[in-house]
Copies of this chain bind each other. A is one copy, B any other.
Amino acid sequence: MTLADDVLAGDRRALARVLTLVERAAPEAREILAALYSATGRAHLVGITGAPGAGKSTLINALAAQLRASGDTVAVLAIDPSSVFSRGAVLGDRIRMQDLVHDAGAFVRSMASRGAVGGVARASAAAIDVLDAAGFDRVLIETVGVGQSELDIAALVHTVVLVEAPGLGDEVQAIKAGVLEIADIVVLNKGDLPHADIALRTLTLALSLAQPAAGAAAWQPRLQRTDALSKHGIEGLRAALDAHRTHAREGTRWAEQQAVRAKAALVSELREQLYTSFMEQLPPAQLAEIVAAIAARTRDPYSTARHLLAAHS
């Protein structure tokens, strides 16, 4: 039995080990990913994003419990680019998600992908494939905020959920307008707070403005009010996820997403392998000399790269 076989057989320790190898961009990860790949494509991939303070982790804990109660297995992947520096956020998330830790049908993982070559999006895409191949019915991918990597990850999932909360400040309102356009489901969490009614009306208006003009077959984004702490609205959120999954599978979204992911995975691999094999040819002493010359401004990186390519290929 290889490690890949163990993952396919449902071994959770093997799964955790493979995710660690992927996170570290370990050399053996590539072969395992190749072996797992044919088992991917079955899970419902759900991206859950929103500004800090919106209560994403609590909401995901409640949603995962709801999905488990309906018989689905659930993996949660929390993508945390800052956690290489500090385990604070990760630890906090684990505490919030403790309901899931002792459930064999659930799996929670935080990714500190800073160390991975190629960055967050590359390691995250591979980790999603691993969780998909491991047989989870749903993979919930939590990202913080509105950075480039969140937008990259949004392109890889079937369903994008944007979590908002009343009163997160005016800059958040401005940013929200950007992500709103890619959201399939918008959650107003902390729906019991003062100003929630105003926030709900604002979101309704913003959604109607942000979404492109839609044909009859287009998905109409759902707005769901929740209060994750008291579990209010979580059943409605699950129903909205199911409705969007059905819509995606019956329409073109599911197939489009497969093609987008396939191309992204190939391009990411090509870039990585091209760079790795090129650098293997370049003597470290020569590289150090070139970097020193660029730092001293006697060479520039742009024409230097061109000369190196011409010389070594």
Contact = CB atoms under 8 A, between A and B. Distances in A.
Interface of A: 30-31, 33-34, 37-38, 40-41, 51-53, 57, 81-86, 88-89, 92, 113-114, 119-120, 144-152, 168-172, 174-175, 177-182, 210, 255, 258-259, 261-263, 265-275, 277-279, 290-292, 294-298, 300-306, 308-309, 313
Given A81-B148, A120-B148, A178-B83, A262 B301 contact: yes
30 contacts: A30-B302, A34-B300, A37-B297, A38-B300, A52-B168, A82-B175, A82-B179, A83-B178, A88-B177, A92-B174, A114-B151, A119-B148, A144-B147, A145-B145, A145-B147, A147-B147, A147-B148, A148-B148, A149-B149, A168-B169, A258-B296, A259-B291, A259-B292, A262-B291, A267-B275, A269-B304, A270-B308, A273-B305, A273-B306, A277-B309
Contacts of A147: 81, 120, 144-145, 147-150
B301 A265 contact: yes
Contact of A309 (B168, B274, B305): B274
Interface of A is mostly: helix
Given A169-B53, A175-B89, A300-B37, A146 B291 contact: no
Nearest to A176: B88
A145 to B, nearest CB: 5
